[in-house]
Amino acid sequence: REQMAQARKRRQRIIGIAVAAIVVIGAASWVVVSRNGSTEEPIAEAVPTAAPSGSTAPSGSAAPSGSAAPSGSAAPAASSVALSCAEPSAIRANDQTFPTAPQPSPLSQKPALITLATNCGPITIETLPDAAPLTVASEVFLTEQGFYDKTRCHRLTTAGILVLQCGDPAGDGTGGPGYSVPDENLPSEAEVNYPAGTVAMANAGPGTAGSQFFIVYGDTTLPPGYTIWGKVTDGLDLVQQIADLGVEGGGSDGPPVQPVVIESASVSTA
């Protein structure tokens, strides 16, 4: 009887230890799942900056207000290919204007490729004529006229709004072609309504788009007031690497540290 009682006590101790271990393991597992699956974690918000501005605005005009930065947006990782930029050419004189917007040319009525040969390498944009016919007609026309040759990409933003802005022969955000193009193909007001690779028109308000455009190099949220007319098919990594080098003066909005000049622009069938 004494031996049986001792054996029963040993079994009870073993069972108690096993139950305690199960409880400890279960508690640890719940802690891991609850932390990983929590929706209560705060999400860091990117710092808002001004929206792309001023394609036909007079000097000193303000960009549209209220451009909200996307929550937690970040620039894509840089390409493994090293950026190699030549010394840029001097920008051309701001002396080319046109009285009215052009009539659509054959190249503007179906998807075409506009290639920007910059001092840092080529950037190729495929046009979206079905979605933005008047804007594409203007962009093809300006390219064919050499309007973009020897012009600077004068503005880079690196916080929340992730764009490189080009197409201004004045080089300071005030230049344009002398005419305006109506707004077209405006996205919905939603998170990341201007995804990476989007090419859209800058403006100084509704119906004021001219020649300035911006290349979105990282997913971005903006007020839906900027005509989307193309998408980058080659060279987006180049823009991302230029962005990685930052803005002059160390801010998040201004001329890029690496000067970018469109040496020439050409258009061809897609």
Among 269, 270, 235, CA closest to 118: 235
* Mean pLDDT confidence for 26-51: 31
Give the pLDDT of residue 259: 98
Band of residue 7 on the pLDDT scale cut at 50, 70, 90: low
Residue with the larger pLDDT of the pair 75 and 175: 175
Distance between CA 86 and CA 117 in Å, rounded?
A: 12
**Is pLDDT at 121 greater than 60 in this prediction?**
yes
Residue with the larger pLDDT of the pair 170 and 31: 170
Percent of the chain with pLDDT over 70: 70
Give the pLDDT of residue 76: 52
Give the pLDDT of residue 18: 44
Give the pLDDT of residue 231: 98
Distance between CA 103 and CA 106 in Å, rounded?
A: 10
Give the pLDDT of residue 45: 26
pLDDT single digits (tens) 49-67: 456 766 433 233 333 333 3
What does pLDDT average to over the chain?
A: 80
Percent of the chain with pLDDT over 90: 70
- pTM of structure: 0.75
**Is pLDDT at 87 greater than 90 in this prediction?**
yes
**Is pLDDT at 254 greater than 80 in this prediction?**
yes
Band of residue 46 on the pLDDT scale cut at 50, 70, 90: very low
Residue with the larger pLDDT of the pair 235 and 75: 235
* Ranges 39-43, 93-97, 150-154, 183-187: which has the least confidence: 39-43
* Ranges 31-40, 67-76, 125-134, 242-251: which has the least confidence: 31-40
Distance between CA 64 and CA 51 in Å, rounded?
A: 7
Distance between CA 130 and CA 108 in Å, rounded?
A: 10
**Is pLDDT at 73 greater than 70 in this prediction?**
no
pLDDT single digits (tens) 170-228: 999 999 999 999 999 999 999 999 999 999 999 999 999 999 999 999 999 999 999 99
Among 262, 75, 80, 78, CA closest to 166: 262
**Is pLDDT at 27 greater than 60 in this prediction?**
no
